[in-house]
């Protein structure tokens, strides 16, 4: 009988995934629903409750001690609410309270999806053993999270590590967030594709105009495709170097669809990093691909719940000992 | 008899200051020497030893339990060495070991000067009561430090918070650090003055071509002077917003000579901050002037030593209780 399980929820604009995860990060049970992203808030919550219902009806549920939630942002961990950009029915939605009610009052830990991915990479993946790390997802958007001093740094509201929306080009193109020249505005998949198309690159017979198709062209030597990835790499390098200069990290881990471009992204990224990470204490910084794949959200939500529990135990050493 | 004193050293390119500081941050004794910045490393160290000698010969010295050092950077707290840009005789200089030897083996805590200033503002100044803060010095250079989760965040090498050398303009002017478009390259006093002169501003009869003189002109309505401060403010805003987006801070405190420009700097800075700090969790961010003045380095070095001691006590509760 497992007595060290946590329930994990990974909530995005496309799907709501749930799992029971053990203390070693193994997923023992899964449940999933499509996110009814265009419906009202209560309808979205019913999908979450269906996922939780599959978990709570399992004979394993008795071992679950806490719930970790990684949600598309913005989140507000201090208020227990979420306002995912792609789920308009949830604005300041009291997700923590509702999940607590649906799970018989278990403690609930909420973090942003970038923070959850970071917790997973630190626990089981490419940031394992690193006390100071930035982990990123470069995909349709650019998100991230931080490990500082050996611990997850979610920040007071669970949003820290939001590297996609730091400006590395203060006079640059307007970003949907309201600022200019954000890392995401230059380095996300759609922006890599947009820049290639603007430069004259054209898709092949399959009509695929994604960043993945641009990566294939870049690997074949198409100079416009190469240049678009180099520009993305430059923005990522400036953002990663800024992070290292601000908080001292020694590794940046990059996941998400754009990272699948491999050397097309990582080679110019490592070159650009030498240009922007110049001070003595950041020059040793390395970058590498994420290792956790599509389960990072679930495993990371579990890790966030477990690390919060560990914190609580530290504060109350008599409990559970 | 004081038994809760720490010795503090504030080491810069111009002067080496020392003090005995009590547990409330009061300076009980001071000593100072000019920094023989062009001399060899041992000559510079002799000046430090003279400062320490004035402190150790005091009857108060018996109460000193630790030494805190805030030094011009880069520093390497993990190695105990310093390499101040303006003191070429010190490169990887083993300052911690030498200070320990000169003080009879007291524990020595080394941090960069921006981190020291931050510790002072958090302990006694404008960041007091804030659990998540960025403190900055905007002067000949631009430095800084971070308070995260209520604690000083020096980072493994004591250099965290180095906001002057994050790039906010990845295609911008080359910075002496090797990168481009760094905050310091746009917002430091010499760069504010340079830009005003390039734009056609001319000093008055006194010939003063400093940023302070540009601030006087800006206050009198000179459009070129105003524009130069606005550009500096924009770079500072982008850097502060990046910091808040990465680690979640709720206040940025700005000291140093350029901050003395007052509303000439702070008004456009607050406007620009609204343009760059756009995500929900950073919109409440405020900025304000530092309060600690020229003693910030000494008080902050003392604070760093005391906070390190507090950490040690936490780890070993039987000691000293």
The phi and psi torsions of A216 (rounded to 5 degrees) equal: -60, -45
Q: Specify whether the CB–CB gap between B285 and B249 falls below 8 A.
A: yes
Q: What is the mean pLDDT of chain A?
A: 94
Q: How confident is the model at residue A307 (pLDDT cuts 50, 70, 90)?
A: confident
Contact between A281 and B168 using a beta-carbon 8 Å cutoff: no
Pairwise CB contact (< 8 Å): B246 & A167: no
Q: What is the ipTM of this complex?
A: 0.93
- What does each C-alpha distance from A278 to A241, A249, A253, B162, B177 come to in angstroms? 8, 14, 19, 12, 6
Instruction: Quote the DSSP letter at residue B93.
Output: B
Is the distance from CB of A29 to CB of A19 less than 8 angstroms?
A: yes
Q: Does A59 score more than 50 pLDDT?
A: yes
Please list every residue in chain A whose beta carbon sits closer than 8 Å to the beta carbon of residue B276.
167, 170, 179-180
Quote the percentage of chain A above a pLDDT of 90: 92
For residue A64, give how far its alpha carbon lies from the nearest alpha carbon of chain B (Å). 29
Q: Is the pLDDT of residue A312 over 50?
A: no
B266-286, pLDDT tens digit by residue? 999 999 999 999 999 999 999
Q: Per the CB < 8 Å rule, is B247 touching A246?
A: yes
Pick from B274, B191, B281, B284: nearest CA to B237:
B274
The residue ranges of DSSP E strands in chain B, in sequence order, are 5-11, 15-21, 27-34, 64-71, 75-76, 81-82, 108-112, 133-138, 142-148, 151-152, 251-255, 286-289
pLDDT at position A321 is 30
Closest CA relative to residue B99, chosen from B116, B114, B73, B77: B77
* Yes or no, beta carbons of A156 and B238 under 8 Å apart: no
What are the strands of the beta sheet with A27-34, ordered from one edge? A27-34, A15-21, A5-11, A64-71, A108-112
Distance from CA of A17 to the nearest CA of B (A): 25
Q: How many helices (H) and strands (E) does chain A have?
A: 9, 12
Residue B47 burial (CB count, 10 A): 19
CATH 3.30.420.40 fits A126-291, yes or no: yes
> Cβ contacts of residue B185 below 8 Å, gap of 6+?
B172, B173, B174, B175, B191
Mind telling me how many Å the CA of A227 is from chain B's nearest CA? Answer: 15
Q: Is A10 helix (H, G, I), strand (E, B) or coil?
A: strand
Q: What is the mean pLDDT of residues A176-185?
A: 97
| A155 contact residues in B (CB cutoff 8 A) | 132, 247-248, 281
Where does the pLDDT of residue B4 fall: very low under 50, low under 70, confident under 90, or very high at 90 and above? confident
| A22-51: average pLDDT | 97
On whether the CB atoms of residues B243 and B126 are closer than 8 A, the answer is: no
For range A99-127, the mean pLDDT: 97
| DSSP string for residues in A163-186 | GGGSBSBTTSPBPTTSSBSBHHHH
- pLDDT of residue B2 exceeding 80: no
What's the pLDDT at A11? 97
Please, what is the angle between helix B263-276 and helix B211-219, to 10°?
A: 90
What does the pLDDT read at residue A222? 98
> How many whole angstroms from its chain centre is CA A295?
11
For residues B141 and A281, give the distance between their C-alpha atoms in angstroms, rounded to a whole number. Answer: 18
pLDDT, residue A85, reads 87
Chain B hits for A281, Cβ within 8 Å: 74, 76, 155, 157, 159, 162
Mean pLDDT for chain B?
94
**Does A314 have pLDDT greater than 50?**
no
User: Touching check for A234 and chain B: CB below 8 Å?
Assistant: yes
In the prediction, which pLDDT does A129 show?
A: 97
Alpha carbon distance B150, B138 (integer Å):
23
Q: Do B242 and A246 touch (CB under 8 A)?
A: yes
Q: Does B245 touch chain A (CB under 8 A)?
A: yes
User: Do the chains contact at B246 and A179, CB–CB below 8 Å?
Assistant: no
Q: Could you give the CA distance from residue A158 to residue A11 in angstroms, rounded to a whole number?
A: 14
For residue B227, give how far its alpha carbon lies from the nearest alpha carbon of chain A (Å): 15
Chain A contact for B275 (CB, 8 A cutoff): yes
- Best CATH choice for the domain B129-291 from the list 3.40.50.1580, 3.30.470.20, 1.10.3720.10, 3.30.420.40: 3.30.420.40
Q: What is the model's pLDDT at position B85?
A: 87
Note the pLDDT tens digit of each residue in B91-126. Answer: 999 999 999 999 999 999 999 999 999 999 999 999
3-state secondary structure at position A309: helix
A residues 8-67 near B, CB within 8 Å?
none
Q: Where are the domains of chain A?
A: 5-112+295-315, 126-291
Rounded Cα distance, A53 and A61, in Å? 10
- Binned at pLDDT 50, 70 and 90, residue B320 comes out as very low
Q: For residues A77 and A59, what is the distance between their CA atoms, to the nearest angstrom? A: 30
Q: Looking at residue A308, what is its pLDDT?
A: 77
| Fold of the A5-112+295-315 domain | Nucleotidyltransferase; domain 5 (3.30.420)
Give me the mean pLDDT over the A199-220 stretch.
96
CB atoms within 10 A of CB B169: 24
Local structure of residue B169 (DSSP, 8 states): B
Which residues in A lie closer than 8 A to residue B159 (C-beta atoms)?
248, 279, 281
Do the beta carbons of residue A2 and residue A29 sit within 8 Å?
no
What is each CA distance from A152 to A202, A310, B31, B198, in whole angstroms? 42, 12, 42, 46
**Pairing between strand A15-21 and A5-11?**
antiparallel
Q: What is the pLDDT of residues B131-151, one digit of tens each?
A: 999 999 999 999 999 999 999
What are phi and psi for residue B313, nearest 5 degrees?
-65, -40
| Residue B175 backbone dihedrals phi, psi, to 5 degrees | -105, 150
Q: Which residues of A touch B181 (CB under 8 A)?
A: 170
Residue B316 pLDDT class (50, 70, 90 cuts): very low
**Cα–Cα distance, B2 to A178 (Å, whole number):** 54
Verify whether the Cβ–Cβ distance B132 to A168 is below 8 Å.
no
pLDDT beyond 50 at B31: yes
pLDDT-derived band of residue A310, with 50, 70 and 90 as boundaries?
A: low
| String of DSSP letters for A87-115 | -TT-SSB-HHHHHHHHTTT--EEEEEHHH
Q: Is the pLDDT of residue A319 over 50?
A: no
The pLDDT value given to residue B307: 84
**Which residue of A281, A311, A315, A317 is the best one to mutate when testing the B interface, meaning the one whose CB has the most B CBs within 10 A?**
A281
Contact B167 A242 (CB under 8 A): yes
Radius of gyration of chain A (CA): 20
Q: Rounded to an integer, what distance in angstroms lies between the CA atom of residue A80 and that of residue B8?
A: 43
Is a pLDDT exceeding 80 seen at residue A2? Answer: no
Tell me the C-alpha distance between A90 and A92, whole Å. 6
Task: Please tell me the predicted confidence (pLDDT) of residue A201.
Answer: 98
CA B320, CA B309: separation in Å to the nearest integer? 11
Q: Which of the residues B163, B182, B281 would you substitute to probe the A interface, choosing the one with the greatest number of A C-beta atoms within 10 Å?
A: B281
C-alpha A17, offset from chain centre:
15
Per-residue model confidence (pLDDT) at position A311:
55
User: B5-116+295-315 in CATH: which number?
Assistant: 3.30.420.40
| pLDDT at A215 exceeding the cut of 60 | yes
The conformation of residue B317, written as its DSSP 8-state character, comes to: T
| Confidence label for B314 from pLDDT (cuts 50, 70 and 90) | very low
């Amino acid at each position: 009988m497992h007595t060290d399980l946590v329930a994990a929820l990974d909530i995005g604009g496309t799907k709501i995934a749930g799992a029971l995860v053990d203390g070693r990060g193994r997923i023992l049970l899964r449940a999933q629903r499509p996110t009814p992203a265009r419906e009202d808030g209560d309808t979205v919550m019913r999908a979450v409750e269906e996922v939780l219902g599959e978990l709570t009806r399992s004979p394993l549920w008795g071992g679950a001690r806490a719930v970790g939630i990684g949600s598309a942002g913005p989140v507000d961990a201090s208020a227990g609410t979420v306002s995912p950009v792609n789920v308009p029915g949830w604005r300041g939605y009291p997700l923590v309270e509702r999940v607590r009610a649906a799970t018989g009052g278990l403690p609930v830990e909420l973090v942003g999806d970038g923070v959850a991915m970071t917790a997973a990479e630190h626990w089981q993946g490419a940031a394992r053993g690193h006390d100071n790390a930035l982990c990123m997802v470069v995909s349709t958007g650019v998100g991230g999270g931080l490990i500082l001093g050996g611990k997850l740094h979610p920040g007071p509201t669970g949003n820290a590590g939001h590297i996609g929306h730091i400006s590395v080009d203060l006079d640059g193109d307007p970003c949907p967030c309201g600022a200019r020249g954000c890392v995401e505005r230059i380095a996300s998949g759609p922006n890599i594709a947009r820049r290639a198309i603007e430069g004259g690159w054209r898709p092949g017979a399959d009509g695929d105009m994604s960043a993945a198709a641009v990566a294939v062209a870049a690997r074949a030597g198409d100079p416009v495709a190469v240049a678009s990835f180099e520009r993305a790499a430059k923005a990522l390098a400036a953002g990663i170097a800024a992070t290292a200069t601000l908080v001292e990290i020694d590794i940046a881990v990059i996941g998400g669809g754009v990272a699948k471009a491999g050397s097309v992204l990582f080679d110019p990224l490592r070159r650009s990093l030498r240009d922007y990470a110049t001070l003595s204490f950041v020059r040793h910084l390395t970058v590498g691909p994420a290792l956790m794949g599509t389960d990072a959200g679930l495993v990371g939500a579990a890790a966030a719940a477990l690390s919060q529990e560990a914190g609580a135990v530290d504060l109350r050493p008599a409990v559970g000992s």
